Each structure stands twice: as C-alpha cells, then as structure tokens.
Structure 1
Amino acid sequence: MKEKLIQQFKDLYKGEGEIRSYFAPGRVNLIGEHTDYNGGHVFPCALTLGTYGIVRDRDDRKLRFYSANFEKLGVIETSLDELVPDPKANWTNYPKGVMWAFEKRGYKLSHGMDILIYGNIPNGSGLSSSASLEVLTGVILKDTFGFDQVSMVDIALIGQDSENNFNGCNCGIMDQFASAMGKKDHAIFLDTNTLQYEYAPVVLEDAKIVITNSKVKHSLVDSAYNDRRSECETALKELKAVTKISSLGELSEEEYEAHKDAIKDAVRQKRAKHAVYENQRTVRAVEALKNQDVELFGKLMNASHESLRYDYEVSCKEIDILVDLAQAMPGVLGSRITGGGFGGCTVSIVKNDAVDAFISEIGRTYQEKVGHEAEFYVVDIGDGAGVI
C-alpha cells in the first residue's frame, strides 16, 4: 500500500524532495457509547483499517491536499495563512483544523506541505474516519516540525479540540484517543474524566469481532449528536442541585435512581439513565473480559444496544434490524450499535464456526428487508498512529 501511494504522490505532485509516510487507525468501540463526554468509561480498540498520509515539505506556505478517496475533487489548495473553516474546503477542514489547533497552542508551522491521503475506513460508517484523519495530521505535524514535546495523548486532545471548535462537532475524547494510543490485540479501558487508562488484552478464544456496515451514512455535525450532549449537560446541572458530582459518570445506578426526580424532563431522565448505566456496564464488561467470561461480555453488549435504542435513541431502523438478526443467530455472543449512532455500523462477537453463516444469512435477510446490501469486516485489533 505504501509503495503504491508514494508512486501516486509522485505522479500527482511531480518535483523532488524527501517523501514521508504515516498511518492512523480507525477504531471500534466494544462497549461504552456516549459516555466519553459524560465523564464515564469507554472500551475502544484501534483497527488495522485506517488513514494513510504521504507528505513532502514545500519551501513556501502553500498547502496542497489530495484524497485518493475523493478523486473528483482533485487537488485542493490553501495556505497556512488561511486556516479557517470553509464549506468549500470539504474534507480538508479536518487536517486544517488540526493545524489551527497546533498553532493556537504556540506550535508554529513554518512551511507548507504537499499531502496525499487515502483511507480504507468507509466514510460515515461510525468507525471514526474523521478522528483517524485528525490524529494522522497530528502525527505528520509532530514529525515534520520536530515537536518532540507533543505526546500522543496531546495529539488526541488536539484532534478533539479541532473537531469541537473548528469543525463544530461536540465529540468526546474517545475516538482520537483510540486512534492515537491503540495497541495490537488490546482494547483501551479509558476513564474519560481523568484520562487514566489501561490496556486490556482482548482474548476471544474461538470467536471473532465482526463489524457490519449498515451503509446508512451519518454526519455527527448535522445529526442530533450535539442535542444529546446538551440534554446530558442540562440533566447534570439539575442533579448537581441534589448531589455533589461533576459528571454523570460519577453516579452509580442506585444513586441515579435515588436522585433522578431532580431531572425535570422525562427525555432528559432517559438520556442521563443511559449515561450512568452504560458506564457501569462498561466497567463490568472489562472485568468480565479479564475473567475470560466472553458470554457475560456479550450479554452486556446486548444490554448496551437496548439502552442506546430506547433510552438514548441514537439507533435507526436499519441498525436495529442488523442487531435483532445478529442476536437471534446461534454462535453470536453479543451485538450492538457502535459509534455516534444514527446509522453506521454494528459490532458483534461471533464464534469462529458461525462467522460464515453470520455474513451470508444476515447479508441476505438485511438486503431483503431494507433494499440495499450491508458490508462485513472481520477485524483485527491494531496499533495506534505513527510513521510508517
């Protein structure tokens, strides 16, 4: 892949100079959805799918971007003096946002670059193609300009800042953290309130992680994602009147039930309930995995989807069909929506001898029910972002 992209870069940009290569993975969250901006725990892992970047320095301040995924857009030109959001800039608003966030922190970018991007994460699938591109840009800038003091956790935080304040999606830290800090064959048990984390081995004897893409694209900026965050923030303010907490993630289920009447709106009560219960599910799920109790882990995944479907209301008809089909199949230990919601993908734990049947039967039935096909990825857990 690297050699092919380098040749494409040379054909496109011509010229001479050192060419460097980078990669940042996408992620799948095994459990712990919409807890990251509520001060709770998440349990994502980096994938071997992700975004590649091929880069060469320029001796001026010009930036030239090209995506092999959006060939019709051609080369998009801008400069380091034009780091402002622009709808006409299309996908380049994501790397531009990271450059803006670096400069805001005092890291001066002294020259422009020619950049070629290629990603094999399906766009809009909920596997964090945008976070992958943000973290990729952070690694490019750290390496290109010698910002050795910038850690990989810093790169995750800079990526989140750029998405929140440059691109307008009020996301939590999980996606960028998983892309930056991933570790092969491990998931990251991350406390989003403190950024304390530990790597937990994902040992699925006789089972695989299967991601199913509903082919229903979501756009978190345009969706109800920001509304959900706002509802949780209001619920937290109401709860603070009766209990000393700084985030919903600090509450146990029992504490939530004792104080929930302080939340004056039934919808906000459901949103807060999901944030609290999902956080506790995530803690129990990681413990189950440590005890090699994959069956309990699967049951907690199922309960997670139920909550996302009815309490948080971020699922959709197509996703619910995929989950219902999966949960009814022999050999499926658990299945749930993953990512921000409103489309995208499901993640399932499937016994090895059931994987082929899972793909063929669910693929056939889903197409009959919704009129278009799904895509399936039997995935491996990979490392975080870096220089290739």
Structure 2
Amino acid sequence: MGGIMKKQDLSQIITAFQTQFNTRPSDMFFSPGRVNLIGEHTDYNGGHVFPITLTLGTYGVARRRKDQLVRLYSLNFPELGVISFEISDTTKLPEHNWANFVKGVIKSLTELGYVIDYGFDLAIDGDIPIAAGLSSSASLELLIGVVIQRLFDFKIPRLQLVMAGHQAENDFIGVNTGLMDQFSVGFGAPNTAIFLDTNTLGYRLVPVILHDYEIIIMNTNKPRSLVTSKYNERVRETQQALQALQTELPIESLGDIDMTTFTSHQKLIKDPLLLKRARHAVSENQRTIKAVKQLAQGDLIEFGMLLNQSHASLRDDYDVTGIELDTLVTAAQEFPGVLGARMTGAGFGGCAIALVPKKSRARFEQQVGARFHQVVGYDASFYDVEIGPGAQWIGPVKD
C-alpha cells in the first residue's frame, strides 16, 4: 500500500485529464483518508479525538483556466462524465454528486475573502473505499482546498483550509459532522497520530510506535445508508442530555466533565436513553485521554484494552454498531495475540480496526474473514495501515 501513489497510477489520471479536457494538467495533488484510533462521536461533543492519516487517499491533477468555467472529471464516477459549471454558480447539484464538494469549498473560501476569479480543470481518482467511514469526503474537501491554494497562489493558513472543508460539509452538503475529519486530513503527518481537543483546537502529534504489532482496518463492506439520519439523531440526543446537565453544571460541552462529575449529576438526565448517549460521550473522551498517555508510554496492552472498552460503549450506550461491525470486532478480539479492536467512524457499517501481531496478519485476515462470511453472508475487506502525510501539492506535471 506504499507511500504516495506510484507514478504510473498518476499517469493514468494525467491521461484521463488529457482525454477529457484536451489539454495537459499543470500540477499533481494528494489528500489522505483517515482512521480514528479512539475517540468516537466525541468531536461534536467537545471532546478529544486521536486520528491517523492513511496512505489511501484522493489524487488529483489540475490546471487553471483563463475563463470562468470549472470542469471536473472523476475516474471513480466515469458514468457522470465531465461536470461543468461557472465559478460563481453556487446552486447545489442533485444529491450524491461529488461536484457539490467542489462548489462547497469554493463558496467557503470566497466567503473567507479569497477572490477566485478564474475557473480550473480537475481530474481525480481515489483509492479510499467510498462510504466506509475512512473520510473520503474530507479527503476530497482538502484536496480541493490545496488545488485552489496552488493554482491561485493563495497563502491560506492550514486551519482556514480545514475550516473551509468543514463548512462545506456542514452548510453546503448538510451533514452535521464535527471537525475531526478535516483537521486530521489537513494536519496529518507520517508515523504520528493527532491528539486533538475539539473544544479548543489545541493539538499535538504523538508518535505511533507499535513494535511487533500493526493496525489492520477491517471493512464490513456494508454501505452506510442510515448514517446521516442516525448521525444527526445522535448529535441531537447528546445536545439534549447536555442541556439537562447545564441546569446545574457550568459546562459548554460533554467534553468538559469527567466520569465522577457525570455520575454525581446523572440524575438530571431523566430519559434513560439520553443518559446512555451522554455516558458514552463522557467516558469515551476520558478513555481517549488515557489511551494517548498509554501509547506514549509504550503500554500497548492497556491501549488495546481501551480500544475494546470503546467498542463496548459504542455498542451498548451509543447503539451505532450493528451485526456486521460487532461480528468483525468480536472475531478480532478473540483472535490469539490481538490486543484490542473497535469500530471506527460513524458506525452502522463502515470499518473497524484491530491491533494485530505482525507475524499473524495472514492468518488473522483468513480466520476473521471466514467468521464474518459465515455470520453475515458476504466478504469483509482488510487493509494494512501506513500512516502518511496530510493534504499536499505533490509537484508540477513534467512535460
């Protein structure tokens, strides 16, 4: 799965660009996907998250135009052909059209005061499984950000690019995500995880040293159809629980309290369902803080136990796992030598991760895969993880 995409793969995008647009691109770009090690559904609750950026991602080649036209082509959606619109056109295209992400980012950057007065041609190709919870959308948003930054020679602070991507996702696409995905795609670095306080945006890079272990991503291959409605529902439920606690506690988010404070005030939350949702948000935040400490100290056994506890909380208190994720995670946890496993991402399908002994990888994938197929009736996919860089310009296209 190597580092940045191999040159011949980029040549495929360059060829597609030339075929579709009848001209050569000037620049090459890469933007990674991400996976969250721990800290799930905490980002919109003012808690901590601990993501890594993958060497899977979105690749793009682009060229600035002399007129107002934007032309887009994706090798992932060739049936859509070339999508064209004027740079000033912010009307939303029919749902599930990836061009809406481009429009959303252009709109956000324009509102920040950047004058984008010419169009551009852009061809992209991604190797992140779509709808797997590995942030293909944030990857695309930040790719568009670095493309615009380069083509128009803007000096855009990285946090502004992150915010523009986040605003596009929330206001233009209409999904109420927290900031984690865009932040990790923007600030990722090789062999490190980002310990981010989503409340203050204070962060630090923590080296990921796993010795004889590796992180394996396990994809249920279940399309996450429920995810937007259920996601927005969880946002609402935790907000309601927070409001109940705020009647006595001077807090701005569930990330502001520890478990002791939560337990002594939980009677304020009258609805047992809302109580469970809030308990997950508070306990997951505390687990994340602890997990970062354990990883930094090299205590992989304790780190793995916290991954297991995280999954149990997401299953029992937050109710976002489902048969596919639970089957994968349980099979992984029962495999000899595995230190921990949990679902990652929004849930309801998508992916899980496991901390697996390197020497057992092939046997792990075979056994866990067989168990999953037996229960669910189709195959899971497995990816080994390399932690790569954040969104970036790769270089000029050579003639």
Aligned sequence identity (%) = 46
Structure 1 gaps of 5+ residues are none
1:209 to 206, 209, 215: 215
Equivalence map 1:12-161=2 (5 Å): 12-15=20-23, 19-87=26-94, 90-148=97-155, 150-161=156-167
Instruction: Tell me which amino acid in the other structure corresponds to 2:230.
Output: A
Within-5 A mapping of 1:245-256: 245-256=251-262
- Paired residue for 1:3? 11
Counterparts of 2:63 and 2:98, CA distance in 1: 19
Paired residue secondary structure (1:176): helix
Computed over aligned residues only, the root mean square deviation of the Cα atoms, in angstroms, reads 1.2
SS across alignment from 2:122: strand
Structure 1's consecutive aligned runs of 4 or more residues displaced over 6 angstroms after TM superposition are none
Cα gap change, 1:88/1:260 in structure 2, threshold over 3 Å: closer, same or farther?
A: closer
SS state at 2:100 partner: helix
Residue in structure 2 matched with residue 228 of structure 1 by the alignment: 234
What is the SS of the residue equivalent to 1:86? coil
Distance (Å, rounded) in 1 between the aligned partners of 2:42 and 2:96 = 31
Q: Which residue of 1 aligns with 2:5?
A: none
Aligned to 2:366: 360
Q: For the residues of structure 2 that align with 1:376 and 1:88, how far apart are their CA atoms? A: 30
Q: CA deviation at 1:152?
A: 1.4
- TM superposition shift of 1:237: 1.2
Corresponding residue to 1:302 among 293, 305, 308: 308
Contact 1:28 1:127 in 2 (8 A): yes
CA shift digits 1:109-135 (9 cap, x unpaired): 111111101100000000000000001
Does the 8 A contact of 2:32 with 2:57 survive in 1? yes
SS of residue in 2 equivalent to 1:331:
coil
The 3-state SS of whatever aligns with 2:23 is coil
> Paired residue for 1:286?
292
Which of 269, 272, 277 aligns to 1:266? It is 272
CA contact (8 A) 1:32 1:279 kept: yes
Residues in 2 aligned to 1:89 and 1:130: alpha-carbon distance in whole angstroms: 11
Partner secondary structure for residue 124 of structure 1? coil
CA contact (8 A) 1:186 1:200 kept: yes
SS in 1 for 2:347: coil
After TM superposition, the structure 1 stretch with the greater mean CA deviation from structure 2, 104-113 or 274-283, is 104-113
Q: CA 1:255/1:88 → structure 2, altered by over 3 Å: closer, same or farther?
A: closer
2:228 aligned counterpart, secondary structure: coil
Shift of 1:170: 0.2
TM-score, normalising length: structure 1:
0.97
Q: Distance in 1 between matches of 2:95 and 2:205?
A: 40
After TM superposition, the score normalised by the length of structure 2 is 0.95
Counterpart Cα distance in 1 of 2:113 and 2:153: 14
Contact 2:93–2:99 (CA under 8 A) maintained in structure 1: no
Q: Which residue of 1 aligns with 2:248?
A: 242
Task: Answer whether contact 1:223 1:342 (CA < 8 A) is retained.
Answer: no
Q: Is the 8 A contact 1:332 1:354 kept in 2?
A: no
Deviation track 1:137-194 (CA, whole Å, cap 9, x = no partner) reads: 111111122220x211211111111101000100000010110100100000000000
5+ residue gaps, structure 2, are 1-8, 395-399
Give the direction of change, closer, same or farther, for the CA distance of 1:183–1:329 in structure 2 (3 Å limit). Answer: same
SS of the residue 2:353 aligns to? strand
Cross-structure match for 1:165: 171
CA contact (8 A) 1:186 1:202 kept: yes
Aligned length: 386
In the aligned structure 1, how far is the partner of 2:110 from the partner of 2:346?
Answer: 29
| Aligned twin of 2:181 | 175
Following superposition, the deviation at residue 221 of structure 1 comes to 6.3
The one-letter code of the counterpart of 2:111 is K
Question: By how many angstroms is 1:314 displaced?
Answer: 0.9
What does residue 348 of structure 1 align with?
A: 354
Deviations 1:81-106 (A, max 9, x none): 22122225711111211111111222
Q: Distance in 2 between matches of 1:158 and 1:120?
A: 23
